[in-house]
Chain A
């Protein structure tokens, strides 16, 4: 089995596709520290035209994502902060939701951050 993710130019991306092969349902708890045997993998900082984006994922013993933490986000100006405050929590929710759904890929989900996706992928690649 081989999975390849290609980032092409952009303003957006599909976190869905990055995560969709994790078909194990999410545990009911989302408190990372509460999960026995959990570990945290830190993604590389992805450089975007607005600034670096970096995330870390917390995995349980079965390698299911239980939490996505945003470590760095663009903060060059007020607008960056506004966008970050709005978009990143939605992306976090999206990563977890799509994993918890029992699907391989998602149609119609297009608008997610490139930097978020590539940092998340680099974290997941360490599994």
Chain B
């Protein structure tokens, strides 16, 4: 997946849990990384492999992409720009799978970070939620905000660190109206999809996100102007 995962576990884990997480992430990476020319998803994208012949994990990832496309009215599209790239759901999906393995391993207090997509359980201490920083899209290494989060996912889609890499499925051109969209929600997978869709929606991001009242969000325009959900300010710390 071209990125690094980290686990922060604050309680006891059953033996072998971390190994299981590592194994699962390597399996997903081997199948679904667009950075590996030999992954099933790369071969599928080049037309060398039929979807029916792909591993169940690949078919499920593509099914999630289809669901995400439907749920966002086409704003999220794993084939935007004509090239198959399911990374927009795969990273969040992988983080959630890692978190599920930690839960099965007996942990309740943990955070999992996969390349800036974050899923957390209960806070590191009783009465103390996780504090999740949001990267400043204009200045690498700086934070725009920090929010308190428990048992939720936090996803940021932005143009600053990797350039204008999110493409508008309608035009195939990079989106530029917003430089960053951060979404907090019960599912990291959906939060991640909504963050990408918001970036594509541009000036329509607020309307899109308002339709998901159980999510909090912060979007930053190219001009630096910030907009956020009513609940965002209650989370900031």
Contact surface of A with B, Cβ cutoff 8 Å? 1-14, 16-18, 20-21, 90-91, 93-98, 101-111, 114, 117
Q: Is B226 an interface residue (CB 8 A)?
A: no
- B3 & A105 in contact (Cβ 8 Å cutoff): no
- B2 & A6 in contact (Cβ 8 Å cutoff): no
Give A114's nearest chain B residue, CB to CB: B4
- A14 & B116 in contact (Cβ 8 Å cutoff): yes
- B155 & A107 in contact (Cβ 8 Å cutoff): yes
Which B105-141 residues sit within 8 Å CB-CB of chain A? Answer: 111, 113, 115-118, 120, 124, 130-135, 137, 140-141
A13 to B155 Cα, complex, angstroms: 16
- B35 & A103 in contact (Cβ 8 Å cutoff): no
A111 to B158 Cα, complex, angstroms: 12
Give A103's nearest chain B residue, CB to CB: B133
Task: Give the Cβ gap from A113 to chain B, nearest Cβ, in Å.
Answer: 10
Which residue from A7, A20, A94, A96 sits with its C-beta under 8 Å from B4? A7
Q: With A108-B158, A108-B182 in contact, do A17 and B113 touch (Cβ < 8 Å)?
A: yes
Q: Is B180 an interface residue (CB 8 A)?
A: yes
Query: Interface on chain A toward B: helix, strand, loop, or mixed SS?
Result: mixed
Task: Give the Cβ gap from B187 to chain A, nearest Cβ, in Å.
Answer: 15
Interface size grouping (class) on chain B: 35 or more
Task: Give the Cβ gap from B128 to chain A, nearest Cβ, in Å.
Answer: 10
Task: Give the Cβ gap from A81 to chain B, nearest Cβ, in Å.
Answer: 20
Q: Is B46 an interface residue (CB 8 A)?
A: no
**Chain B residues in 8 Å Cβ range of A117:** 4
**Chain A residues in 8 Å Cβ range of B154:** 107
**Chain B residues in 8 Å Cβ range of A114:** 4
Give B94's nearest chain A residue, CB to CB: A8
Q: With A17-B4, A90-B141, A97-B141 in contact, do A8 and B29 touch (Cβ < 8 Å)?
A: yes
- B3 & A94 in contact (Cβ 8 Å cutoff): no
**Chain A residues in 8 Å Cβ range of B8:** 3-4, 17, 20-21, 104-105
Contact with A along B41-85 (1 / 0, CB 8 A): 000000000000000000000000000000000000000000000
Task: Give the Cβ gap from B161 to chain A, nearest Cβ, in Å.
Answer: 4
A103 to B144 Cα, complex, angstroms: 12
- B162 & A104 in contact (Cβ 8 Å cutoff): no
A109 to B146 Cα, complex, angstroms: 13
Q: Is B103 an interface residue (CB 8 A)?
A: no
- A109 & B161 in contact (Cβ 8 Å cutoff): yes
A93 to B136 Cα, complex, angstroms: 13
Known: A95-B141, A105-B6. 18 other contacts (CB 8 A): A6-B25, A10-B2, A11-B35, A14-B6, A16-B113, A17-B113, A90-B140, A97-B142, A101-B146, A106-B116, A107-B155, A107-B182, A108-B137, A108-B158, A108-B161, A109-B133, A109-B135, A111-B162
Q: Is B22 an interface residue (CB 8 A)?
A: yes
A111 to B161 Cα, complex, angstroms: 6
Which residue from B18, B26, B116 sits with its C-beta under 8 Å from A8? B26
Q: Is B208 an interface residue (CB 8 A)?
A: no
A107 to B146 Cα, complex, angstroms: 9
A91 to B140 Cα, complex, angstroms: 9
Q: Is B7 an interface residue (CB 8 A)?
A: yes
Task: Give the Cβ gap from A42 to chain B, nearest Cβ, in Å.
Answer: 22
- B3 & A106 in contact (Cβ 8 Å cutoff): no
Q: Is B212 an interface residue (CB 8 A)?
A: no
- A1 & B10 in contact (Cβ 8 Å cutoff): yes
